[in-house]
Amino acid sequence: MPDNRPIGVFDSGLGGLTVLKELQRVLPNENIVYFGDTGRVPYGNKSNSTIKSYALQDERFLLSKNVKYIVAACGTVSAVAPDTAKALPVCFMGVVENSVKDAVECTKNKKIGVIGTSATIANGAHKRLIEKYLPDAEVTTSECPLFVPLVEEGWFSADDEVVIGLVERYLKPIKIAGVDTLILGCTHYPVLKDAIRKVMGDKVMLINMGYSTARAVKSDLERLDLLNDGKEPSVKEFYLSDITSGFSKICKILLGEETDGDKVGLVDISKYEASFD
């Protein structure tokens, strides 16, 4: 039976729009409800317990929108808080597992790099999973906390020496390790792909977690017979926990299209329970 309920997508803020972009490309007929926790972003420098309780509230909010499937578009939530999805009454997908599977498939020299927020890298989820699928892999990781504000400031050009300087500095251990595959383990990093490619060289395969995840969501929906029938044009709804003046500019950077702030719902996320007990 086709299922026209929306897919719920959430992130700590607007970064998840890079994942939404891939979902739209791979699943153009699906309705999507996006929640960005812009009032509490960033998650990447918070404690594990805070990230978990925020993720639970985000999931609760999406459930209130009658979603059929939830995607945690956030690298940090996917690494630190996948357990929050255990009690969900709908299917859930994070962005870590499928990007790891793609990386393991791509690598020839078994040297894989991972970059992400501080919480993501400290958690080690990517490394554990890579070693599960490819036990003799050599994994080099690097936390890149300044990439998120850099992108949101609109600084991502590969011709900008400040951008290149920062990319070189963060990626140095990964470049020295000689990886042939690099997982971009945070929502904002695909925007920096030209700069990252310039530093790492053309031969290094960059894994976009949004694309890896969108393909996996599609095959899940097919397997579970939950695809939308596509008879009506698909609808996207946006909800945020704070709407700032920079909203439109950041959307353009991350999604590649303007999003009208008037069409965005403001959510008091604190009223959603941080548990499923």
Positions marked active-site: 74, 186
Q: What size, in residues, is the chain?
A: 277
User: Is 140 among the residues that bind ligand DGL (CB under 6 A)?
Assistant: no
Q: Which residue in the shown chain puts its C-beta closest to ligand DGL?
A: 44
Neighbouring C-alpha atoms within 13 Å toward the C-beta of 104: 18
Which C-beta is closer to ligand DGL: that of 148 or that of 206? 148
Of 10-18, 83-91, 194-202, 229-237, the segment contacting ligand DGL by CB under 6 A is 10-18
Strand partners of residue 208 = 184
User: Is 210 among the residues that bind ligand DGL (CB under 6 A)?
Assistant: no
User: Is 22 among the residues that bind ligand DGL (CB under 6 A)?
Assistant: no
User: Is 186 among the residues that bind ligand DGL (CB under 6 A)?
Assistant: yes
Instruction: Compute the CA torsion angle 112, 24, 12, 254 (nearest 10 deg).
Output: 80
User: Is 17 among the residues that bind ligand DGL (CB under 6 A)?
Assistant: no
Select from 6, 8, 15, 82 the one that contacts ligand DGL (CB under 6 A).
Answer: 15
Among residues 236, 228, 189, 244, which one has the least CA distance to residue 211? 189
Of 73-81, 105-113, 171-179, 211-219, the segment contacting ligand DGL by CB under 6 A is 73-81
User: Is 141 among the residues that bind ligand DGL (CB under 6 A)?
Assistant: no
Please classify residue 252 by burial: count the beta carbons closer than 10 Å to its beta carbon, then call 0-12 exposed, 13-18 middle and 19+ buried: middle
User: Is 120 among the residues that bind ligand DGL (CB under 6 A)?
Assistant: yes
User: How many whole angstroms separate alpha carbon 76 and alpha carbon 124?
Assistant: 11
Output the six-digit token pair for 264.
């965005």
Among residues 218, 198, 216, 214, which one has the least CA distance to residue 206? 198
User: Is 129 among the residues that bind ligand DGL (CB under 6 A)?
Assistant: no
Distances in whole angstroms, Cα of residue 249 to Cα of each of 10, 116, 193, 224, 262? 19, 23, 19, 37, 14
User: Is 190 among the residues that bind ligand DGL (CB under 6 A)?
Assistant: no
User: Is 36 among the residues that bind ligand DGL (CB under 6 A)?
Assistant: no
User: Is 74 among the residues that bind ligand DGL (CB under 6 A)?
Assistant: yes
Select from 99, 117, 208, 213 the one that contacts ligand DGL (CB under 6 A).
Answer: 117
User: How many whole angstroms separate alpha carbon 215 and alpha carbon 22?
Assistant: 9
User: How many whole angstroms separate alpha carbon 129 and alpha carbon 108?
Assistant: 17
User: Is 94 among the residues that bind ligand DGL (CB under 6 A)?
Assistant: no
Hey, what amino acid is at 147?
F
Select from 7, 9, 12, 98 the one that contacts ligand DGL (CB under 6 A).
Answer: 12
Distance of CA 44 to the CA centre of its chain: 12
User: Is 125 among the residues that bind ligand DGL (CB under 6 A)?
Assistant: no
Of 36-44, 104-112, 129-137, 234-242, the segment contacting ligand DGL by CB under 6 A is 36-44
Strands (E), 2-86: 7-11, 32-36, 69-72
Q: How many residues bind ligand DGL (CB under 6 A)?
A: 16
- List residues binding ligand DGL (CB under 6 A): 11-13, 15, 41-44, 74-76, 117, 120, 148, 186-187
